[in-house]
Chains A and B, each alone.
Chain A
């Protein structure tokens, strides 16, 4: 399927007046999906989502309906839905604007999902660093209760549901689903050993579904349109629409909702291209934890299979675009400072590995590295990947190994010239005087051209 147009579903109302209110949402067709879901058995709703091919929009792409179906048979005790609204992966900026602009998508999706899995108390775990988003979610839940979409005997069906919106307190690791559950239980947010998986023992050791905001927000439209409708968009294995978030050195950064399988070349065309007079150097297809791509990957279809085959991951479709003024060593060093800061400390490979990767990268960026350092980087990555407790450690190695694969010469330039060959001010959107003029003069004098 050729992809050249946008397909706004979740973003269709983002330009509406007072888009966040229940009234605006209902005027645009909101809560028709819930009404339709209530005419069906929960099992039928689950089957529709399963057949649609919707895959988790939080990064991993696990089939959403399949995840729901892993809950064990009811035993009379509670089962929970927990929405992961802890969006923190560098570059990822889709769930936060969705919840700010149209939180009712998430509320309706949560109600339908809860109905489908037999849950009577759902939780939305939103990161604490987005105050107004939390206000909007609290208000959206209030409005849904007042309208009878939440509470006891919803719309006369006999079905009961409560939703609690819970604010985190600043920890990237809480985006990992089991760390999120620990945090929601009032503990330090550290990942749990699996198995048991959340479907079997999740929140309070009860069967639990944990899904990303965009996954759950997509459910009302799937229930309304049906699985075949959803599959008219995207590819066979990567069905449907998704939010593509363009940021960095593009003319019109922003959110573009399109069928999976669209390419960066097509998206750049919609976004006005790379900023004038510059060219694409490297980009992330799905956040900083996905291996870097370069200009040679402009035509890779952005679906799970194609991006994987090209050596990266679709992740969260967080397309961070960097032009030729950007120092890749600086970029990777900064990401590593992030991972080292956010490593929860539970497992040694991640805690120690990110610490040393950061230290070695800083040395190289400052022009004080040695060629052996490049081997140390790769060796350290080797000792983290596959040995860390959760995906944070694995993800931390992606920028390092991919940058060395595509830009080894630039790392070597830092070492041989004893300085960064690029001017950081040239990457910024505004001019600013260099803080350390002496250092810059040294850079200029260095013979660092490849």
Chain B
């Protein structure tokens, strides 16, 4: 729905007084209910800001000025603070998005395997460039970075569902269907691609009940699993007689610690590649 429908002039401020007049009374009540479900998931409400921005996109199709005011109002932040976060992340759109985001991976591996050709073909076919939307409002085209499906290169994402092993022809066929309003089915994902707004609502943490659709794993994912079975390979058996009581009873949890590092002692922060001589010198 658009924010203009049933708009009234009576509701202009949210709970904390920000101007959220772009939403009518019913919309505002509904969104406030959603926002409070989001913040309830976290010990501190501000952690709900990213999902709340997804929620705004579910409502408006982008991070609208009204949506920013709404988030600020719900979380007791300034609109500048919300905007600072919204502009940091690539999934938050600063102008109305098409019904479908079509992302072509042009990071090195996909690009080399054919992603560049797919990109060239789609830009030419649709007549739009990166982060631009077709005049019919259907497709927003994006160059995207690695989406963790390199064994299915070249990869195209439609509203962040996987379209594996693509060619310029298959990608063109997909956008043609999207523009024609036909159903489009990802290779690994739900049984059909949902709209940008529906997707955004899921990313805000509101399930759409479609988790059981689609495959568990694609062919490339399963290759090692299947090969091991064919050749009779397996990990070693667990040692015999690992006792597993039917109904475990244990003493209440008492946190285990056997070290209290001084601030600055070598520890968890080492989750980064070893790049300096000192990194490997510490290895023991």
Contacts and interface: CB of A to CB of B under 8 A. Distances in A.
Contacts of A78: 43
Contacts of A289: 273
B257 A186 contact: no
B151 A93 contact: yes
Contacts of B261: 70, 72, 197, 199-200
23 contacts: A15-B225, A35-B248, A41-B251, A43-B258, A67-B271, A74-B257, A97-B218, A100-B217, A128-B89, A132-B161, A135-B190, A135-B210, A158-B252, A167-B50, A167-B54, A197-B269, A200-B261, A248-B112, A253-B153, A391-B272, A427-B113, A428-B117, A428-B154
Nearest to B260: A72
Contacts of B117: 425, 428, 430, 432
A32 B50 contact: no
B100 to A, nearest CB: 12
A307 to B, nearest CB: 10
Interface residues of B, number: 121
A12 B203 contact: no
A169 B271 contact: no
A156 B246 CA distance: 12
Contacts of A16: 216
Interface string A312-339: 0101001010100010001100110010
Contacts, number: 446
B267 A56 contact: no
A151 B208 CA distance: 22
A129 B157 contact: yes
B233 to A, nearest CB: 4
Given A7-B233, A131-B202, 4 more contacts: A132-B211, A334-B106, A338-B108, A394-B273
Contacts of A90: 107-109, 145-146, 150
Contacts of A430: 114, 117, 167-168
A93 B54 contact: no
Contacts of B10: none
Contacts of A271: 223
A337 B174 CA distance: 27
Contacts of B208: 135
Contact of A8 (B47, B149, B228): B228
Contact of B151 (A20, A171, A210, A247): A247
A204 B45 CA distance: 11
Interface string B241-260: 01111011111111111111
Interface stretch (B26-34, B176-184, B274-282): B274-282
Contacts of B53: 169
Contacts of B50: 166-169, 183, 186
B94 to A, nearest CB: 13
A270 B148 contact: no
A428 B253 contact: no
B261 to A, nearest CB: 5
Given A135-B210, A171-B88, A89 B146 contact: yes
A41 B269 contact: no
A117 B49 contact: no
B227 A6 contact: yes
Interface in A240-264: 241, 244-249, 252-258
A301 interface: no
Interface string A141-165: 0100000000000011111000011
